[in-house]
Amino acid sequence: MSILVNKDTKVIVQGFTGKEGTFHSEQCIEYGTNIVGGVTPNKGGQTHLGKPVFNTVADAVNATGATVSMIFVPPAFVGDAVMEAADAGIELAVIITEGAPVKDMMYAKMYATKKGMSTIGPNCPGIITAEECKLGIMPGNIFKKGNVGLISKSGTLTYEGANQVVQAGYGITTAVGIGGDPIIGLSYLQLLPMFENDPETEAIVMIGEIGGDLEIQAAKYIKENVTKPVVAFIAGQTAPKGKRMGHAGAIVSGSAGTAKEKMEALEAAGVKVVVSPAEIGKAVKEVLSK
């Protein structure tokens, strides 16, 4: 078991024939992801990486029965692409693109919600179910199969966390990079229950950062609903106020969004909070050997 995607998931790629789309789709196919086709306007009918190309998502869905789309289109067109996917009946869109205007994502997510489509990202590494299905830009080889679910706002911290879990002798069920933009798709609140209900997942690693209050909401949810052990790290304890730390959403404004308040809320919810990402592996070992 795993969450959201597995080896049978039929995937299409929007922005399939572009440079990024091509490079990463190739890696995903190599990993074993069941990519059944791609979408690039005006290239319908062609074959790319051995898969059919369609002009529209609707055509692709009709022909292949795909339920998931991985999106690599440039930032100016990503809102349109997400809405097209939702309109065509896609169930989950994984948006890798970085630099999408916030307003476009706001409208796109509202429409997706209306159409019953979930989204992950934008500006994220994607989602991976270890040794089954890689949808994104993460290096697949570090995600060994195991019993730990991982949720992270940051790409490289996803790799760091997964690597440590594996080094500690465990492995990953599914890892989800939720992205660090102001408006994101699936987040802790939706993913925590999925991991809680996944029989293979025995512990959850949650990596957050400064800005917003998603981690605070997660802490409340964990306290009341999560029975599995949770390990958390919040990046940006040493970040100055009012400065954007790389991610558009990673900014401490006023007294809100600090690492400290998030860490305290999580600790109060019974989460094992580490002060350095270097301690994630050790903490996972600790909670799992109890």
Partner 1 sequence: MNIHEYQAKSIFKSYGVPTPRGIVATTPKEAVRAAEELGGDLWVVKAQIHAGGRGLGGGVKLARSIEEVEELADQILGMTLVTHQTGPEGKVVHKVYIEEGADIKDEFYLGVVLDRAKEMPVIMASTEGGMEIEKVAAQTPEKIVKVAVDPTIGFQGFHGRELVFGLGITDKNEQRKFIDFASKLFKIYMDKDVELIEINPLIRTKQGDFLALDAKMGFDDSALYRHPDIAEMRDITEEDPDEREAAEHGLSYVALDGEIGCMVNGAGLAMGTMDTINYVGGTPANFLDVGGKANAQTVAKGFEIILKNPKVKAIFVNIFGGIVRCDRIANGILEATKMVDVHVPVVVRLDGTNAAEAAEILKNANIDNIIPATDLLDGAKKAVAAAKGDLK
Which one, 54 or 159, has the nearer CB to partner 1? 159
198, amino acid identity: D
Candidate ranges 53-61, 64-72, 193-201, 202-210; the one touching partner 1 (CB under 8 A): 202-210
End-to-end C-alpha distance for the chain, whole angstroms: 23
The residue (of 60 and 112) whose beta carbon lies closer to partner 1 is 112
Of residues 256 and 268, the one with the C-beta less far from partner 1? 256
* Contact predicate 39/64, CB 8 Å: no
Minimum distance from residue 168 beta carbon to partner 1 (Å) = 12
- Sort 116 into a burial class: Cβ within 10 Å, 0-12 / 13-18 / 19+: exposed
SS3 2: coil
Closest CA to 112 of 131, 134, 132, 91: 91
Chosen residue from 85, 142, 284, 287 binding partner 1 by CB under 8 A: 142
What's the burial of 279, exposed, middle or buried (CB within 10 Å: 0-12/13-18/19+)? middle
Give me the least distance between CB of 136 and partner 1, in Å please. 10
**Residues 42, 105, 53: CA angle, nearest 5 degrees:** 20
Paired tokens of 229:
């052990």
Interface map 92-111 toward partner 1 (x if CB under 8 A): -------xxxxxx-xx-xx-
Buried b (16+ CB within 10 A) or exposed e, 79-105: bebbbbbbbbebbbbbbbbbebeeebb
| Cis upstream peptide for 122 (omega within 30°) | yes
149 contributes a contact to partner 1 by CB under 8 A: no
Query: With CB under 8 A as the contact rule, which of the stretches 29-37, 38-46, 132-140, 221-229 interacts with partner 1?
Result: 132-140
Check 24, 51, 134, 247 and give the catalytic one.
Answer: 247
Identity of the amino acid at 143:
F
Q: Which of residues 10-69 bind partner 1 (CB under 8 A)?
A: 23-24, 27
Strand, coil or helix: what is 141? helix
Task: Single out the residue of 18, 32, 44, 75 in contact with partner 1 (rule: CB under 8 A).
Answer: 75
Q: Closer CB to partner 1, residue 148 or residue 210?
A: 210
In the bound state with partner 1, the residue whose beta carbon lies nearer, of 44 and 140, is 140
- Interface residue with partner 1, options 25, 147, 236, 288 (CB under 8 A): 236
Other residues' Cβ atoms within 10 Å of the Cβ of residue 241: 12
Instruction: Give the range of 10-18, 51-59, 193-201, 203-211 binding partner 1 by CB under 8 A.
Output: 203-211
Residue placing its CB nearer to partner 1 in the complex, 36 or 165: 165
* Least distance from partner 1 to the Cβ atom of residue 231, Å: 14
Nearest to 68 by CA among 7, 18, 26: 7
48 is catalytic: no
Q: Please report how close the Cβ of residue 229 comes to partner 1 at its closest, in angstroms.
A: 21
Query: What residues make contact with partner 1 under the rule CB under 8 A?
Result: 23-24, 27, 75-76, 99-104, 106-107, 109-110, 125, 137-139, 141-142, 152-157, 159-160, 163, 180, 182-183, 207, 209-210, 212-214, 217, 233, 235-240, 242-250, 253-255, 259, 275-279
Instruction: Give the active site residues.
Output: 247
